[in-house]
Amino acid sequence: MTAATSDIQSRRDRTLREELVIDWGVSHALKKIDQVTSGFGLRTRRSLLTGALRLTRGMAPEPHRSLAACREILGWDRPVELYVKPDPMVQAFCTRSVSGPMIIGLSSRMLETFTDAELRFVIGHELGHAVFDHFAIPMPATATLADVGGKFVSRPVQLKLTCGAAPRRSPPTAPAWCAPATWSPRPTPSSRSRVAWAPA
């Protein structure tokens, strides 16, 4: 069962992106970021390997089952690697290499305490960032990039990027794409308390 991305992406997320990509300052900043960061290849993945452990199916079957369920629902067929970072807090992230697989990182605390359904929710949320390409406008670099003439992006657009980045960090559509992956529309009481105490 694959969900159509148009059915699960919020209108605000879609319209904000459409507004930002046509802005001259944003497109100019993105070109500059591409020039500066091109040629680094798998740098993101290599730096992650210095402080995290890549999880294989053999060593962590539960998170990989959760990932497989989310990939099927979201229709994501490109490579994804799972990593665990030693961290006493409940945290997760998604990032991409310039070349290479999409990377989802989970904290060791999350792996120790979350149920399979809760892991599916978190992994589905993180994979949603990849599905909707929230990496296309990197933040805060796009809003703060400057040269001798000043910042590339105007102040009103900086505010849109900064204030509008909140949906990217915690998209309003997250429950829509995560709920099917958890097979339960209601979060458990334990997941609510864990998320409530998680740092922003």
CATH number at residue 24: 3.30.2010.10
Arithmetic mean of pLDDT, 111-121: 93
C-alpha distances (whole Å) from 173 to each of 90, 152, 170, 179 are 21, 30, 8, 10
In a domain, 162, yes or no: yes
Nearest to 9 by CA among 130, 106, 184: 130
Per-chain mean pLDDT for the chain: 75
H-run or E-run covering 163:
helix 155-169
In a domain, 15, yes or no: yes
Beta bridge partners of 81: 103
In a domain, 200, yes or no: no
Range list of β-strands (E), the chain = 53-55, 80-85, 92-96, 102-107, 146-147, 150-151
Higher pLDDT, 178 or 56: 56
Per-residue pLDDT tens over the stretch 22-53 = 888 888 887 877 776 665 555 667 777 788 89
Higher pLDDT, 54 or 198: 54
In a domain, 42, yes or no: yes
Least confident of 15-19, 58-62, 67-71, 86-90: 15-19
d(CA 190, CA 194): 6
pTM, full prediction:
0.68
Number of domains making up the chain: 1
| pLDDT of 95 strictly over 60 | yes
Residue 96: what pLDDT?
Answer: 76
| pLDDT of 1 strictly over 70 | no
In a domain, 104, yes or no: yes
Residue 171: what pLDDT?
Answer: 44
Least confident of 16-20, 65-69, 84-88, 112-116: 16-20
Domain residues for the domain of 155 are: 5-195
In a domain, 18, yes or no: yes
Length of the chain: 200
Contacts of 122 (CB under 8 A, 6+ apart): 92, 106, 110, 114, 178
Beta bridge partners of 82: 55, 104
Nearest to 101 by CA among 171, 54, 150: 54
In a domain, 125, yes or no: yes
